[in-house]
Amino acid sequence: AVLHLEKMITTSGGKIFATNGKRADFRTTLKKCKEAGGSIATPRNAGENDAILYFVKSFNTYAYLGIEESLIPSKFQLLDGTQLNYTNWHLNEPSGKGEEECVEMYTDGTWNDRRCNQNRLVVCQF
């Protein structure tokens, strides 16, 4: 079950996901989530992916996820270096081959690798 409060807070799997509705680049998103006492939203299953997708659809914009390219091009991992057990890549993604180190969520819930300097919706998890 997913709880929605004014399109700003949603829950899934014991995690709370929140957005302030603002957009920022990847590094700023990391900083803002840390300042709020959380971390950047990182879906570990379909339910959590859907919780983040709720914001992406509500604000009709993409959001960065807490996933980054490892030292091996086109191989992605969680920010703490652990491997991904859940992925939802868009068809033919990731495609950046070392040029796109960050991951964004499209408005259909699928993922794309992207350069980290774009402004995307800030979504944090707690």
Residue 94 has pLDDT above 90, yes or no: yes
Structural domain that includes position 33: 9-125
Domain count, the chain: 1
Count, residues in the chain: 126
Cβ atoms of residues 3 and 51 within 8 Å = no
Tokens read off for 75: 């191989």
58-85 pLDDT per residue, tens? 999 999 999 999 999 889 999 999 999 9
Residue of 94, 100, 98, 99 lying closest to 112 (CA atoms): 94
Report yes or no on 71 lying in a domain.
yes
CATH number of the domain bearing residue 89? 3.10.100.10
Cβ atoms of residues 119 and 22 within 8 Å = no
pTM of the model: 0.92
The residue type found at 25 is D
Report yes or no on 30 lying in a domain.
yes
Report yes or no on 70 lying in a domain.
yes
